[in-house]
Amino acid sequence: MDDAAADGRVPAPTVTGGPSLPRPARPPRDDAHRAADQLTADAARTSSARRLQTATTRPDLDGLATVAARLLGAASGRITLLADGPVVVGSHGPQPAAEAGAPGAALARTVCAQTAAAGRPLAIGDTRTDLRVAELPVVRAGDVGSYLGVPLATRDGRVVGAVCVFDREPRHWEPGAADLLQHVAGAATAELELAAAGEARAGATVAETAVESAGVGTFVLQVATGRVDWDDRTLALFGLRREELNDDVEVAFERIHPEDRVAARADLAVALATGGYTSSYRVLLPDGTVRWMEARGSVLDGGRPATERLVGTVLDVTAHHRVTGRIAQALEGMAVGYLAVDRGWRVAHANAAAERLCGTGRADLLGRSVVDLLGAGATDELTDLLRRALRTGEAVVELARPGSAPRWVEVRAVPEGEGLAVYLLETTARREAARATERASTRACLLAEVTAVFTGEADPDVAAQRFAELVVPALGDWCVVTLVDDDSPVNTPVRAVPRPADLRRGLRDVGHWHRDPARRPLVARYAEHRLADLTRHAFLWRALREGRPLRIPDATTAVSAVLAEDGTARRLLHELAPSCGLVLPLPGRGRTTGLLTVFQDAGRPPLDAEDVGTVVELAGRAGLALDSARLHRHQRRFAEELQRSLLTDPPAPAHADLAVRYVPSARTAQVGGDWYDAFEQPTGTVLVIGDVVGHDTRAATAMAQVRTVVRTLGAVGDDRPADVLARSDRVVASSQPDLTASALAVRLEDVPGEGTGTRLRWSSAGHPPAVVLGPEGTVDFLTAGEADLLLGVDPAAPRHDHVVDLPAGSTVLLYTDGLVERRDASLDEGFQALAQALADVHAQAPADLDALVDALLARTLPAEAADDVALLAVRLHPRA
């Protein structure tokens, strides 16, 4: 042991450990190991440790071990005496079995032995990388990953053990941590010394104990005479010289602090009455120093009153009081509330934070039942918590505290001494933050779902119903969604306030929902009758006129007042009995697209400002989506009408029926480049179908030009289909050099020498092949090798005619690629699907050509076509 340790000074702790050091296979037996091996050989040290270890009444040091662990934020604490082997006299938290109770031969192989051998604090951040302890059993077992220990020494400087804290995982020990632990070690030494000294019952035993403890004073008080006999150590503790002593016990009371004298005399009176003496008081030394003393003893009668005497010991426990005061100061300064609770659940101590959290002064806290203090409607839950803590070591519960504002407190109970330590932590802010996060998440999800509903659903009525199901129950107990039709007078500027009959025109309650499935039919009936029963003062009209949300407190009474007295809606509203509500418009771009009415039932609080903000944002998104859908419908209708205006009705040839169809894309509001045409030549009827690349105004304009060129060049003469397409290609190339289009031209001719059949002469410019449905239901595609180039690719390229003779009753179908192209299938699969659909439709024997075409389109086109489709069908009759 070095000089610093011997004179009571605490040397700087040695901190080791780090992630960069490798784990040693077998550490060398360095100086630390050799010093640990010498512990067993130190007879004086072993004797002192054995004396403290074998006291009949050993103090309960678990509380000090708990204090040490909690002060330093460690999972475990331990106070160990090192005599013939390590003996744990105080502990807290999980303890490693590999070290506790190890035999004397293994003393040097314990971490506490390393601390005692060093004679100074030992701090190890990572035990696995420290050569002194890496191979010890507790380290190899993973029980001790980080360690902080200080020597436990008697007043004569003999190291008899160690006080330590440790965790399973590596950690960093803060500066000053060893100082805190040293104070706990001083308190532990004082408790052990007092326990050992208290074994003395007679003068000889007292003398032997005083010599052994070398820090405990002894005295003998003759009860009958008041004469006191002090040993030299007691004199020194009271700051007296023997020549100043007149053997009167009053001399001792003169040195006791004035504030403690009454209590000290009372302790002496209790001792004379009961036979056992215990007292704690302060002593004022001549130099003004104040020291705390702990006195213990027993009254021995000797067989008669005249020989009755009090034999006792005095120990300086100033260090213990200092660490106790420091602990109390630390507890007082904690932001966490602390209550010391005895076995009867009564509060024995409280800190300032506990006063604040409990809402009452400390004087009102002490002695009260902690169950009554914190229960507040959760008495059984709190009682179960305290019992569970005693049984399992720790228990936690979160309770609501009554008051004007809601407050939440986390109550954590752990065993401490003979009772419990109850820690209180206010969690109101944490709960509010969690609630805010949850509400923000819910809000984001709602906004995303509403956007998806209105952008993914073409039918506004279906979207409104799904919107109602999203609003309830997230923001209300039931709701009604109203849509404003395009031609409603609601969005028409007027000077006078419209009449209810005018306002109702173009309004439809199409969405409604209730969180209770049993009450949804009731809401549906209310929505059916509400608009008809609204008076001119209805909240719905005010929201439309003012363009802002309107709160409806006492909704049943308030809404009933603006409903027709004899109407069905008023009766249904009383059955629904809402407590409050909110009605707000769904704003579009300069117009109102609908309204949302949300109600809360009794027992649910009104929407707060944040909830109203969420509803307003939902309504804004729904309104914009509905307005966008309206604009899309208008644009699509305009594009479709424009497209159809560019396509004229076909002629009616004498020996064939013609049917034409144009189906615009469901996903675009733009005009396209698909077209069909039919005209007469001297030798037959010419049918043309084509598709200009693109889906915009430019493509539609180019389509009109190509169609005009083909019709003009084809109708003025008697050119074959290949010649018509070739001449058209050259003309278009001169006026539209960037245009590209596919086309298929077919001419219906008489078959030479035969009076019933029809000859088809065709030429294709990269267009999908025509399909022929025979009278018996056979399906064939008109192909003849590779198709010629698209129009606009190479005007000088040759073009070819192909011929096929068809019997009367055959049906020929010309179409654009939108009929067979699918994103999820190949073109070959599209042709096969078309052939199968045509055969199936023929098997159903449609009445005429129009019925056949409509049935075919119904079978082949998806609900939302991705591309425009133009179709021209001809059914051949006998030509005789």
> pLDDT digits over 722-758, tens only?
999 999 999 988 888 888 899 999 999 988 876 678 9
* Within-domain flag for 715: yes
**DSSP state for residue 789 in the 8-state scheme:** P
Residue 34 CB neighbour total at 10 angstroms? 11
Residue 865: band (very low, low, confident or very high) from pLDDT cuts 50, 70, 90: low
* Within-domain flag for 801: yes
CA distance 54 to 43: 16
List the CATH number of the domain containing 316: 3.30.450.20
pLDDT at 720: 94
User: Is there a single domain that holds both residue 607 and residue 550?
Assistant: yes
CA dist 259 → 262, 284, 285, 293 (Å): 7, 11, 15, 14
Residue identified by tokens 């119904």 is: 858
**Over the chain, what is the mean pLDDT?**
80
* Within-domain flag for 470: yes
pLDDT in tens, 102-158: 444 466 678 888 888 888 899 999 999 988 888 888 898 889 999 999 999 887 778
Q: Is the pLDDT of residue 589 over 60?
A: yes
**Lowest mean pLDDT: which of 27-41, 237-251, 481-495, 580-594?**
27-41
Contact 150, 121 (CB under 8 A): yes
pLDDT at 9: 35
CA end-to-end span of the chain: 132
CA distance 443 to 449: 10
Contact 51, 135 (CB under 8 A): no
Dihedral (CA of 72, 78, 79, 84) sign: negative
User: Is there a single domain that holds both residue 799 and residue 830?
Assistant: yes
CA distance 519 to 578: 12
pLDDT in tens, 807-856: 999 999 999 998 998 888 888 999 999 999 999 999 888 878 999 999 99
User: Is there a single domain that holds both residue 669 and residue 596?
Assistant: no
List the CATH number of the domain containing 140: 3.30.450.40
Could you check whether the bond before residue 500 is cis, i.e. omega within 30 degrees of 0?
Answer: no
* Within-domain flag for 497: yes
CA distance 718 to 711: 12
User: Is there a single domain that holds both residue 349 and residue 415?
Assistant: yes
pLDDT at 327: 62
CA distance 24 to 140: 11
Q: Per DSSP, which regions of 637-699 are E strands?
A: 656-663, 674-681, 684-692
CA distance 111 to 99: 8
> Which of 324-333's residues contact partners 24+ apart within 8 Å by CB, and which partners?
324/187, 326/180, 326/183, 327/67, 327/71, 330/71
Where among 159, 177, 197 does a domain terminate?
Answer: 197
User: Is there a single domain that holds both residue 455 and residue 417?
Assistant: no
Say if residue 737 is exposed, middle or buried (CB neighbours under 10 Å; 0-12, 13-18, 19+).
exposed
User: Is there a single domain that holds both residue 129 and residue 104?
Assistant: yes
Q: Is the pLDDT of residue 43 over 70?
A: no
pLDDT at 790: 92
- Side-chain-side CA neighbours of residue 791 (13 Å): 36
Q: Can you give the residue range of the structural domain that contains 504?
A: 434-635
Q: Cβ contacts of residue 406 below 8 Å, gap of 6+?
A: 400, 428
pLDDT in tens, 642-679: 656 656 677 778 789 999 988 877 555 455 678 889 99
pLDDT at 38: 66
Strand partners, 511: 481
Q: Is 321 helix (H, G, I), strand (E, B) or coil?
A: helix
SS3 assignment for 740-775: CEEEEEEEEEECCCCCCCEEEEEEEEECCCCEEECC
Question: Which strand (E) or helix (H) includes residue 640?
Answer: helix 609-645
List the CATH number of the domain containing 735: 3.60.40.10
User: Treating both helix axes as pointing N-terminal to C-terminal, what angle do 177-197 and 62-71 enclose, rounded to 10 degrees?
Assistant: 170
User: Is there a single domain that holds both residue 160 and residue 84?
Assistant: yes
pLDDT at 3: 40
pLDDT in tens, 257-290: 888 899 888 888 888 888 888 888 899 888 888 8
User: Is there a single domain that holds both residue 193 and residue 207?
Assistant: no
* Within-domain flag for 283: yes
Q: Per DSSP, which regions of 443-523 are E strands?
A: 478-484, 507-514
Longest alpha-carbon distance in the chain: 163
* Within-domain flag for 666: yes
pLDDT in tens, 225-240: 878 888 888 888 888 8
Q: Is 497 helix (H, G, I), strand (E, B) or coil?
A: coil
Question: What amino acid occupies position 209?
Answer: T
In this prediction, what percent of the chain has a pLDDT beyond 70? 81
Phi, psi of 97 (to 5 degrees): -70, -20
pLDDT at 779: 94
Task: Report which of 129, 91, 528 is spatially closest to residue 112, judged by C-alpha positions.
Answer: 91
Residue identified by tokens 């001399």 is: 251
User: Is there a single domain that holds both residue 299 and residue 357?
Assistant: no
Answer yes or no: pTM beyond 0.95.
no
Strand 656-663 vs strand 869-876: parallel, antiparallel, or unpaired? antiparallel
CA distance 124 to 50: 28
pLDDT at 76: 92
**Lowest mean pLDDT: which of 382-391, 512-521, 796-805?**
382-391
Question: Which strand (E) or helix (H) includes residue 89?
Answer: strand 86-92
pLDDT in tens, 773-782: 999 999 999 9
pLDDT in tens, 298-347: 887 655 666 578 888 888 887 766 666 666 666 676 778 888 888 788 88
User: Is there a single domain that holds both residue 659 and residue 593?
Assistant: no
Residue 201: band (very low, low, confident or very high) from pLDDT cuts 50, 70, 90: very low
Task: Report which of 677, 673, 675 is spatially closest to residue 686, judged by C-alpha positions.
Answer: 677
Question: Which strand (E) or helix (H) includes residue 698?
Answer: helix 697-715
Where among 375, 391, 426 does a domain terminate?
Answer: 426
**DSSP state for residue 635 in the 8-state scheme:** H
Q: Is 583 helix (H, G, I), strand (E, B) or coil?
A: strand
CA dist 288 → 208, 255, 284, 319 (Å): 32, 11, 6, 17
User: Is there a single domain that holds both residue 247 and residue 214?
Assistant: yes
> Which of 776-781's residues contact partners 24+ apart within 8 Å by CB, and which partners?
777/839, 777/842, 777/843, 779/835, 779/838, 779/839, 781/831, 781/835
Task: Report which of 281, 274, 279, 280 is spatially closest to residue 299, judged by C-alpha positions.
Answer: 274
- List the structure tokens of 279: 């007292």
pLDDT at 156: 74
What is the average pLDDT across 358-384? 78
CA distance 711 to 709: 6
SS3 assignment for 267-285: HHHHHHHHCEEEEEEEEEC
* Within-domain flag for 328: no
Residue 635: band (very low, low, confident or very high) from pLDDT cuts 50, 70, 90: low
Task: Report which of 119, 96, 116, 100 is spatially closest to residue 108, judged by C-alpha positions.
Answer: 116
Where among 606, 635, 664 does a domain terminate?
Answer: 635
pLDDT in tens, 464-482: 899 899 889 888 999 999 9
More confident residue, 115 or 53: 115
Q: Cβ contacts of residue 228 below 8 Å, gap of 6+?
A: 219, 220, 221, 222, 247, 248, 249, 251, 252
Question: Which strand (E) or helix (H) includes residue 596?
Answer: strand 592-601
Dihedral (CA of 762, 768, 773, 778) sign: positive
Dihedral (CA of 787, 791, 797, 799) sign: positive
CA distance 480 to 464: 9
Q: For the chain, how many structural domains are there in total?
A: 5
Question: What amino acid occupies position 152?
Answer: L
Task: Report which of 678, 614, 300 is spatially closest to residue 444, judged by C-alpha positions.
Answer: 614
Strand 76-82 vs strand 14-16: parallel, antiparallel, or unpaired? unpaired
Task: Report which of 784, 777, 798 is spatially closest to residue 841, judged by C-alpha positions.
Answer: 777
User: Is there a single domain that holds both residue 751 and residue 616?
Assistant: no
Task: Report which of 851, 875, 876, 870 is spatially closest to residue 648, judged by C-alpha positions.
Answer: 870
What is the average pLDDT across 3-14? 36
pLDDT in tens, 543-556: 888 889 999 999 99
